[in-house]
Amino acid sequence: MFEFLTYPFMIRAILIGVTLAVSTSLISNFLVSSNQSLIGDGLAHISFTGVVIGVLFSNNPLYIAIPIAILASILIKFLMRTNKIHGDTAIGLVSTLALAIGFILISQSSGFNMSVESMLVGSIFSTVWMDVLYSSIIMLLVFTFTIYSYKHLFSISFDSTYAKFSKIKEAYYDYFLAAITAVVVVVGVQTIGTLLVSAFIIFPAVSGSLVAKSFKHMMINSVIINVVVTITGIILGHFLSYPAGASIIVLHGITFGVLYLFKLIRRIE
């Protein structure tokens, strides 16, 4: 029954899934709490174009896609912080523009050898060990960043005005969180797909908060939910021949629905 665990592609899929699940859930708590859930979605679209450009001009698309996504995240943050336009608007502007450029590049180039569908829903079963290495490094990076900056990220997410007053370098953490999200998203887009990356940034934190007694509890819940859902989704995808990314998102949707109902019922009681 557990024969599938002897396939290297399956082991790689689970390792990449779990490492990215941990990275995204850690970040997602701060993003969702400070009403920035859409930034993951926006950056996923931008990374799509980043990866397209990377595939066209380099042997390793990450070398080009990561700097592009970081620059875009800084641009989005800059637009959001100038207060001239609304935060969501800034994300919408930059991300749709980037996506459009990506599609133009694909249509004009004969050398593009990746399927657009696989970039959207991911191809987690056709990864290489190098991808496992990248996503593990990213997980370590995010983990260190979260532990090291937990206190400040908490303050900023809870009350950014007071954080500024307390002389916490709010702008620095804001840009840094966006940039680190960009890096996670790029690695995610290449392996688990644009769609799943967006879901990874939103679902775990929201579901985790529904049954949390504190913010710390929300963080732990989100990591557990994301890891369990991801492993289950990959295994289900394998046995039912569904796209793994899409299965994970549907499972996340079900988890959210169940927890939401649970909370509603408990409130009525």
Instruction: List residues binding other proteins (CB under 8 A).
Output: 32-35, 150-151, 154-155, 157-168, 209, 212-218
Instruction: Indicate the residue among 15 and 88 with the shorter CB distance to other proteins.
Output: 88
Report how far residue 117's alpha carbon sits from residue 236's, in angstroms, rounded to the nearest whole number.
20
Instruction: Indicate the residue among 124 and 177 with the shorter CB distance to other proteins.
Output: 177
Instruction: Indicate the residue among 118 and 160 with the shorter CB distance to other proteins.
Output: 160
What is the smallest separation between the CB atom of 62 and other proteins, expressed in angstroms? 33
Report how far residue 125's alpha carbon sits from residue 51's, in angstroms, rounded to the nearest whole number.
18
Report how far residue 95's alpha carbon sits from residue 76's, in angstroms, rounded to the nearest whole number.
9
| 32, 81 Cβ separation under 8 angstroms | no
What is the smallest separation between the CB atom of 188 and other proteins, expressed in angstroms? 24
What is the smallest separation between the CB atom of 201 and other proteins, expressed in angstroms? 15
| 79, 26 Cβ separation under 8 angstroms | no
Determine whether 48 is exposed, middle or buried from the number of CB atoms within 10 Å of its CB (0-12, 13-18, 19+): buried
What is the smallest separation between the CB atom of 252 and other proteins, expressed in angstroms? 17
Number of Cβ within a 10 Å radius of residue 8:
9
What is the smallest separation between the CB atom of 165 and other proteins, expressed in angstroms? 5
The Cα-based distances of 149 to 22, 142, 173, 204 in angstroms read 17, 10, 8, 20
Instruction: Indicate the residue among 168 and 251 with the shorter CB distance to other proteins.
Output: 168
Q: Which residues contact 217 (CB under 8 A, 6 or more apart)?
A: none
What is the smallest separation between the CB atom of 26 and other proteins, expressed in angstroms? 15
| 201, 33 Cβ separation under 8 angstroms | no
Instruction: Indicate the residue among 41 and 131 with the shorter CB distance to other proteins.
Output: 41
Query: What angle (nearest 5°) sits at the alpha carbon of residue 18, between those of residues 117 and 255?
Result: 80
Instruction: Indicate the residue among 113 and 214 with the shorter CB distance to other proteins.
Output: 214
What is the smallest separation between the CB atom of 237 and other proteins, expressed in angstroms? 31
Instruction: Indicate the residue among 101 and 212 with the shorter CB distance to other proteins.
Output: 212
Report how far residue 254's alpha carbon sits from residue 227's, in angstroms, rounded to the nearest whole number.
15
